[in-house]
Amino acid sequence: MAIPGHLTITKTNSVKHHLFWEINRKTPQKGDYVRLPLYDSKVGCAPCSIVKRIGCLPGERLVNKGSKYYCNGEYLGQYQTGNNIEPFKFSGTVPPGMVFLVGDRDKSYDSRYFGFKQITDIETVLYPIF
């Protein structure tokens, strides 16, 4: 949820912070928190505003081994089994203009399920406050 005056508050526990300051930086970097819309009928988003962290950038190597994901050898997380949502399975170079987004918790609904998102979909870069 965006609040006028450059604040964003998260409603879920998928990231470890809940209050963010919006940064006017045009180029997101690996590790940045970002806000973007998600259109996904599988989870009732039409759209939902989500906050995630950039785990892998264009040109970096994303590897899916079993249920685990790595970017350039760095562990990003793993998908959960037992739910009715198919995981995104991909190993290779992140395509131009795309990012792989992750939450801070293994139970986060993120790119491990919905796949890559376009960098141009990112509304703002966020700085965690609390």
What is the phi/psi pair of residue 107, to 5°? -90, 10
pTM of the model: 0.92
Provide the domain limits for residue 18.
2-128
Q: Are 59 and 100 in contact (CB under 8 A)?
A: no
- Cα–Cα dist 55/100, whole Å: 6
**pLDDT per position as a tens digit, 45-65:** 888 999 999 999 999 999 999
Say which CATH number the domain at 118 has: 2.10.109.10
| Count of domains forming the chain | 1
Evaluate if residue 16 carries a pLDDT over 90.
yes
Beta bridge partners of 49: 37
**pLDDT per position as a tens digit, 21-48:** 998 777 899 999 999 999 988 878 888 9
